[in-house]
């Protein structure tokens, strides 16, 4: 017999140590709470030895009645399926009953990339901070410019940003390439602009000047408070906090996701092929980008997505 509350906490802890983002962990926690609420409504204990086929179908029916969005239902089923996989792997449950719940195909949502005018507004804001501050504040403005530039020019995920090392930025004659090292596939590189190359050179100089040591600087990004650098590398949550602060300060609707979607629009403006876009996004060759194509065609009257200047 398992204690659901205790084992769910163990599951969440494993997600944290595996590097899942703050929002991902928050969603898993919320999805498991939906299951706990279902058990409470049916006066079921929070200890469990079995979960019968009848109960599986009851839970599926509860989700169908409670949530109108197929994607919402799919996400909650998937969260519970992964939780029971965790229990089976750790020999706390004999099998995974949630595999009996049919999973509807995920419905792709139309992309809503951050408008280019807001990108320019953000870039100008960070440049002003860089030019009007000194020391660590100036370095953090540089770091934030690097975050924006990397996501907008390469579409890199925040989870990959957290592992990015200085040696992963590779100079070329007319620009740079960033080496992306996903956990579940082979590394690959994505080109960056000549403007990024100049920004990177200045950032690296500032970083090496202020780095507290001992030892060489390893990671491309860093975590800091207003007074000192706390650690090398910046967690996915740290990147999310940066975007939260920008939304409050500049009153613009921007997330890492919408900036990544703007990157796809930039590639389309540059006439990058569909197959190349898929490769750089790190998705399978059969991934459907038709919604991007449709949204791009609908947005042709708005300012085109261009390279940003970081001077």
The CATH number of residue 44's host domain is 1.10.150.130
Do 129 and 255 share a domain, yes or no? yes
Q: Is residue 36 part of a domain?
A: yes
Cα–Cα distance measured from residue 247 to residue 20, given in angstroms and rounded to the nearest whole number: 22
Q: Is residue 72 part of a domain?
A: yes
What is the model's pLDDT at position 103?
A: 63
Q: What is the pLDDT of residues 17-60, one digit of tens each?
A: 887 777 788 889 999 999 999 888 888 887 777 777 788 888 88
Average pLDDT in the chain = 87
Q: What is the pLDDT of residues 251-266, one digit of tens each?
A: 999 999 999 999 999 9
Do 158 and 285 share a domain, yes or no? yes
Do 166 and 93 share a domain, yes or no? no
Do 126 and 238 share a domain, yes or no? yes
Do 67 and 158 share a domain, yes or no? no
Cβ atoms of 123 and 310 closer than 8 Å: yes
Q: Is residue 111 part of a domain?
A: no
Which residue reads 């991934």 in tokens?
Answer: 287
Q: Is residue 310 part of a domain?
A: no
The Cβ-side half-sphere exposure at 95, using a 13 Å CA radius, reads 8
CATH number at residue 124: 1.10.443.10
Do 122 and 270 share a domain, yes or no? yes
Q: pLDDT at residue 183 above 80? A: no
Stretch 95-103: mean pLDDT: 77
Do 169 and 89 share a domain, yes or no? no
Of 71, 100, 129, the residue that ends a domain is: 100
Q: Is residue 51 part of a domain?
A: yes
Percentage of the residues of the chain whose pLDDT score is greater than 70: 94
Cα–Cα distance measured from residue 277 to residue 273, given in angstroms and rounded to the nearest whole number: 6
CB within 8 Å of 32: residues ≥ 6 apart: 8, 11, 79, 80, 83
Question: pTM to 2 decimals?
Answer: 0.72
Pair of tokens at residue 201: 């050179």
Do 87 and 190 share a domain, yes or no? no
What domain range is 83 assigned to?
A: 2-100
Do 44 and 157 share a domain, yes or no? no
Do 66 and 41 share a domain, yes or no? yes
Q: Is residue 105 part of a domain?
A: no
What is the model's pLDDT at position 108?
A: 61
Q: What is the pLDDT of residues 172-181, one digit of tens each?
A: 988 899 999 8
Q: What is the pLDDT of residues 194-237, one digit of tens each?
A: 999 999 999 999 998 888 765 678 899 999 988 888 888 898 88
Cα–Cα distance measured from residue 224 to residue 294, given in angstroms and rounded to the nearest whole number: 40
Do 194 and 233 share a domain, yes or no? yes
Cβ atoms of 188 and 243 closer than 8 Å: no
Q: pLDDT at residue 68 above 80? A: no
- Count other C-beta atoms under 10 Å from residue 119's C-beta: 22
Q: Quick one: which of 42, 40, 104, 23 has its CA closest to 67?
A: 104
Stretch 119-142: mean pLDDT: 95
Stretch 186-195: mean pLDDT: 94
Residue 104's pLDDT band, with cuts at 50, 70 and 90, is low
Residue 159's pLDDT band, with cuts at 50, 70 and 90, is confident
Do 125 and 82 share a domain, yes or no? no
What is the model's pLDDT at position 25?
A: 87
Where is average pLDDT lowest: 135-139, 147-151, 279-283, 295-299? Answer: 295-299
What is the model's pLDDT at position 303?
A: 59
Of 50, 70, 100, the residue that ends a domain is: 100
Of 70, 100, 130, the residue that ends a domain is: 100
Based on the structure, what is the number of domains in the chain? 2
């Amino acid at each position: 017999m398992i204690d659901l509350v205790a084992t769910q906490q163990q599951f969440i802890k494993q997600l944290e140590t595996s590097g899942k983002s703050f929002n991902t962990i928050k969603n898993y926690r919320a999805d498991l709470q939906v299951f706990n609420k279902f058990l409470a409504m049916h006066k079921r204990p929070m200890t469990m030895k079995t979960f019968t086929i009848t109960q599986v179908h009851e839970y599926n029916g509860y989700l169908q009645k409670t949530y109108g969005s197929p994607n919402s239902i799919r996400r909650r089923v998937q969260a519970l399926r992964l939780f029971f996989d965790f229990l089976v792997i750790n020999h706390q449950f004999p099998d995974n009953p949630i595999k009996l719940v049919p999973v509807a195909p995920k419905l792709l949502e139309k992309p809503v990339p951050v408008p280019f005018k807001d990108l320019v507004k953000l870039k100008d804001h960070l440049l002003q901070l860089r030019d009007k501050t000194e020391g660590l504040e100036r370095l953090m403005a540089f770091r934030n410019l690097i975050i924006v530039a990397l996501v907008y020019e390469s579409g890199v995920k925040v989870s990959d940003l957290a592992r990015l090392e200085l040696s992963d930025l590779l100079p070329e004659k007319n620009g740079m390439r960033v080496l992306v090292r996903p956990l579940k596939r082979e590394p690959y590189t994505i080109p960056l602009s000549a403007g990024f190359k100049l920004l990177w050179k200045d950032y690296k100089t500032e970083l090496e000047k202020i780095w507290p040591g001992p030892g060489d600087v390893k990671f491309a990004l860093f975590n800091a408070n207003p007074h000192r650098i706390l650690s090398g590398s910046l967690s996915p949550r740290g990147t999310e906090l940066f975007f939260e602060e920008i939304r409050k300060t500049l009153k613009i609707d921007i997330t890492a996701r919408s900036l990544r979607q703007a990157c796809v629009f930039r590639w389309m403006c540059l006439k990058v092929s569909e197959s190349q876009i898929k490769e750089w996004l790190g998705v399978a060759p059969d991934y459907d980008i038709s919604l991007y194509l449709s949204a791009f065609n609908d947005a042709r009257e708005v300012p085109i997505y261009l390279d940003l200047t970081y001077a």
